[in-house]
Structure 1
Amino acid sequence: MPSSTTTESSPPQENAALSHGLKQRHLSMIALGGVIGAGLFVGSGAGIAAAGPSIVIAYTLSGLLVMLVMRMLGEMSAAYPSSGSFSAHAERAMGPWAGFTAGWSFWVLLCTAVGLEGMGAAHIVGGWLPGTPEWAWVALFMVVFCGTNLAAVKNFGEFEFWFAALKVGAISLFLVLGVLAVAGVLPGTDSPGASHLTDFLPNGGEGLVVGLLASVFAYGGLETVTIAAAESEDPIKGVASAVRTAMWRIALFYIGSMAVIVTLVPWNAESVVTDGPYVAALKEVGIPGADQLMNVVILVALLSAMNANIYGSSRIAYSLVARGQGPKFLAKVSGGVPRLAVLTSCVLGFVCVLLSYWRPDDVFKWLLNMIGAVILVVWIFIAVSQLLLRRRVEREEPQRLVVRMWAFPVLTWVALAAMATILVLMAREPGTRVQLYSTGAMTLALAAVGYTWQRARARAS
């Protein structure tokens, strides 16, 4: 391992051409608001319907796992800031094949997510302006965020700063109103007490499992802050700060809001699924126009995720190519921005949108299944990389350990065991089994390509 202060292992100049235009306030707000996604606002409804009030337990368990993953990732990213994040760490720990597999699988996930988020945002705007084609709205959003990401990284940071501020403000207001309603001090409302919590586990263990799986995937997107940190004014400080505040952010925004919702609204209320759990709760406390108000918040969350995923996918692609693991044209940097990587990610995102219209029942469905468990694959690479790198860094460069994983290596092994358990649970559930197998097939294919490329490169040198 090199003893220099470069941020990359192969080649060390990976980040040299990228700008450092993200300010600390950008990174702080990305860390704060990045945890609040459309999956929380919309996807949590299905989890509540399955698990009932025990969804709080599901989000707590998955939240604890995410805290461990973020701590491990933070340790490595503070030691070696990189636009490749976990992909670069996996390469450093296990070899180029691992960086190739983790990086390109995550890139596929992000590009697909760009299209999905664009479609979700377009559906909301289409409801406000009936008769307008949704694909045109997706195209407009794509052009706007592609343009901002092409111009300069500070544009991405500025958009995310204000998007995150709106999301944080909205969910904070929701929590305040919810707590006041639960306490019975909100005008015009009576406290429900614990009346909605008596049937805590209505569908038994199976319901809790479904809720647990739904909650795990609602946490996706936290990795962006470690990618963005590499282009901040002080990468090490930025990562350390983001990771150290991860625990209270997850506890407050996810677990706290789930507790408020299931206390205010009966878990089996039809509105939890049809309107969404947050709209149902706001209607319960008598907020007029709650559905449209929450649609605005969800639209902001979708656009924020779209912007972040264009950024994240372009930087992951750039990092992979700069390390010799992809088509060289994607590594070209202009004005501190990998513009061809940004354009490619946007184009592929829009192709996903077109596939949803042209081939919704086969190609598009297959694509959705293929990315279904990618986030778990990434988490496994993070845990294994941290397990291997920690002792190496302690032995060779202990000064790099600005952030340390708690109770190493015990909690790293606990996290890996939890991930293995989730994989087993996915294999047991018919709704997630096909996602697990499809993601597994893609991961194995990428690993085979990466290993073959690694062997060929070794023979050539």
Structure 2
Amino acid sequence: MTSQPSLAKADQASHNPGASHPENGRTGTTGPDGSQGSDGLKAGLKNRHLSMIAIGGVIGAGLFVGSGSGIAKAGPAILVSYALVGTMVVMVMRMLGEMAAARPSSGSFSAYADQALGRWAGFSIGWLYWFFWVVVLAVEATAGAVILNGWVPAVPQWAWALIVMVVLTATNLASVASYGEFEFWFAGIKVVAIGAFVIIGLLAVFGVLPGSDNPGAGFAHLTDAGGFMPNGPGSILTGVLMVVFSFMGSEIVTLAAGESEDPQRAVTKATNSVIWRIGVFYLGSIFIVLTLLPWNDKSITKDGSYVAALNSIGIPHAGQVMNVIVLTAVLSCLNSGLYTASRMAFSLGQRGDAPKAFAKTSKRGVPQAAILGSVVFGFLAVWFNYQWPTTVFNFLLNSSGAVALFVWLVICFTQLRMRGMILREQPEKLVVKMWLFPYLTWATIAMISFVLVYMLTDDAGREQVVLSLLVAALVVGFALVREQVQKRKKVSAGPADELTG
């Protein structure tokens, strides 16, 4: 068993002649001058881009749109749900940061799974992750189209979805720097908006905000409507299921690090700051909502938690203000989703697990075929959403729903094996370390497994887990069969090669 990592690594190298050597600690991009490395990607992301991608990566549209339903189910105890999931994400990001700082890669956890667990694992989780993000493209494009159609009804929703997809595709095709610049401003708007919301909200909570309509009840609303857990302790777990997917995206920075000027520094900084980012943006903002309004206030579900909170303060045009912020979050998620899907497809192409065209880059250092291949599937999913929203698209949505949890599980198991590989081969690269290894890694595996099992007891969660497991089983099965076929070809080709030699 101990020989598996080395064998997997050797096998990977044979399928990826363009990959960089471990001694340089990179996956091809070469330095701050932006020159292209052996993998063809260009180091076009600046440190400020990576910093904002890291901060904004954990703020999706789900936080703004979906938090109201979680509050309605769990009451103030939803804070515990967010804290539990946040803790899980911090652990996973720490593990991923350990591997990414040592070996920055555009394939991130998929490339690490390939090395540590075997080619079948890298292939499977890479394609599942790609599938997740191209479905997200359709979801976010449709969400953005709904908002834009509300502002300009003369342009139909499908046209707005098309316009949004075309613009962001062009951005990603131009250069990685243009993606980074767009994401810098998108994420910046989200960060400033939530920061302002938290500060203004705190002032209103204590009744010191000039002109506020809020009575300034302090922390009374946390317990004055049936207590802190009005629906019982079980509602905390229900809340976990409702908020877990709004955290997906925090791992994007480890993929982007491979195209940055100093990937090790960027990953280390992002990993170390994940705790306060989750604390401020998720726990902080939800805490403000719950202290400004009773959890059972009907406006939270009717208008949305953030709009309801802003209305309680007396902020004029709160709905339109929040629509602008949600649209920014949607465009940010769409932009990052296209980037992430294309870089995963690129990495799969490099390793021989996707069409070779996906591994080719343009003169500007972007994988055009991988970007276009990803966006075509995204366009197709948008079309499914308009043609068969309750059948085909619903299947796509549910069958990718639990992929986030699968990805986190694979990261945990990969890190268990990768730690030993790094210590043997590049001990000086272990600049970020998982806390209390391996105990916290196993504890995180147990937490994620528990969430997956508990989802089977929930009506909505059950369908997601079952369909996601079905798709995952098909992909893993295909990967294993493919691996066996390739091994047989090598064995049968061996004697012939010797004779010809």
Aligned CA-pair RMSD: 1.5
1:190 paired to 2:239: no
Structural mapping, 1:130-279, within 5 Å? 130-187=153-210, 188=212, 189-198=214-223, 199-279=227-307
* Equivalent-residue separation in structure 2 for 1:15 and 1:61 (angstroms): 41
The answer as to whether partners of 2:27 and 2:106 remain within 8 angstroms in 1 is no
From 132, 149, 160, the equivalent of 1:126 is: 149
TM-score under structure 1 length normalisation: 0.97
Alignment of 1:281-320 (within 5 A): 281-320=309-348
8 A contact 2:49–2:180 mirrored in 1: yes
Contact kept in structure 2, 1:310 and 1:345, CA below 8 Å: yes
The residue that corresponds to 2:68 in the other structure is: 45
Aligned pair 1:87/2:110, yes or no? Answer: yes
Equivalent residues of 2:53, 2:184 under 8 A apart: yes
Residue 91 of structure 2 is matched in structure 1 by 68
Q: Give the Cα–Cα distance (whole angstroms) in 2 for the partners of residues 450 and 295 of structure 1.
A: 43
Deviation string for 1:384-420 (max 9, x for gaps)? 0001111222233211111111111111011000001
Whether contact under 8 Å (1:29, 1:161) holds in the other structure is yes
Question: 2:378 is aligned with what amino acid?
Answer: G
Whose relative contact order is higher, 1 or 2, with alpha carbons under 8 Å and at least 6 apart? Answer: 1
Shift of 1:299: 0.2
Aligned equivalent of 2:13: none
Preserved CA contact (<8 Å) 1:321 1:328: yes
Q: Is the contact between residue 130 and residue 345 of structure 2 (CA under 8 Å) also seen in structure 1?
A: yes
Pairing of 1:346-357 with structure 2 (within 5 A): 346-357=375-386
CA distance in 2, matches of 1:36, 1:450: 33
SS at match of 1:245: helix
Aligned partner of 2:485: which letter? A
Amino acid in the other structure paired with 1:233? E
Q: Deviations over 1:366-395 (max 9, x none)?
A: 111101100000000000000111122223
Q: Which has the larger radius of gyration?
A: 2
CA–CA distance in structure 1, aligned partners of residues 116 and 27 of structure 2:
12
Shift of 1:14: 8.9
Per the TM alignment, residue 192 of structure 1 is displaced from its structure 2 partner at its CA by: 1.5
Unaligned runs of 5+ in 2: 1-5, 7-20, 29-35, 491-501
Q: Which has the higher mean CA deviation after the structures are superposed, 384-393 or 201-210?
A: 201-210
The question of 1:391 aligning with 2:420 is answered yes
Tell whether the 8 Å contact from 1:49 to 1:267 is kept in structure 2 after alignment.
yes
- State the shift of 1:424 in Å: 1.3
Shift of 1:7: 3.6
CA distance in 1, matches of 2:177, 2:322: 28
Q: Are residue 324 (structure 1) and residue 344 (structure 2) matched? A: no
Indicate yes or no: 2:364 matched with 1:364. Answer: no
CA shift digits 1:111-138 (9 cap, x unpaired): 0101110110110111112242101001
The DSSP-based 3-state class of the residue aligned with 1:428 is coil
Task: After TM superposition, give the deviation of residue 60 of structure 1 in Å.
Answer: 0.5
Alignment of 1:432-443 (within 5 A): 432-443=461-472
Could you tell me how far apart the structure 1 residues matched to 2:138 and 2:362 are?
Answer: 25
Residue 381 of structure 1 aligns to which amino acid in structure 2? Answer: V
For 1:266 and 1:361, locate their aligned partners in 2 and report how far apart those are by CA, in whole Å.
34
Show the counterpart of 1:458.
Answer: 487
Deviation at 1:8, TM superposition (A): 5.2
The residue aligned with 2:11 is: none
**What SS is found at the alignment partner of 1:19?**
coil
Q: Does the 8 A contact of 2:53 with 2:187 survive in 1?
A: yes
Q: How far apart, in 1, do the equivalents of 2:127 and 2:26 lie? A: 20
The letter of the residue matching 1:390 is R
8 Å contact 2:175–2:366 — kept in the other structure? yes
Structure 1 residue 117 corresponds to structure 2 residue 140: yes
Q: Give the Cα separation in 1 of the matches to 2:154 and 2:228.
A: 44
- Residue type at the aligned position of 1:414: A
C-alpha deviations, 1:24-63, integer Å up to 9, x for none?
1100111111211101111111111101000111100110
Identical pairs, percent: 48
Paired residues of 1:164 and 1:304 also in contact (CA < 8 A) = yes
Q: Give the counterpart of 1:339 among 351, 365, 368.
A: 368
Alpha carbons 2:138, 2:385 under 8 Å: kept: no
1:23 and 2:46 aligned: yes
SS at match of 1:20: coil
Alignment of 1:57 onto 2:85: no
Identify unmatched segments of 5+ residues in structure 1.
none
Q: With structure 2 as the length reference, what TM-score do the two structures score?
A: 0.89
Please list the CA deviations of residues 341-390 of structure 1 after superposition, one character each: whole Å capped at 9, or x if unmatched: 11111111111111011112211111111011000000000000001111
Look up the SS of the partner of 1:408 in the other structure.
coil
Pairwise CA distance, 1:213: 1.0
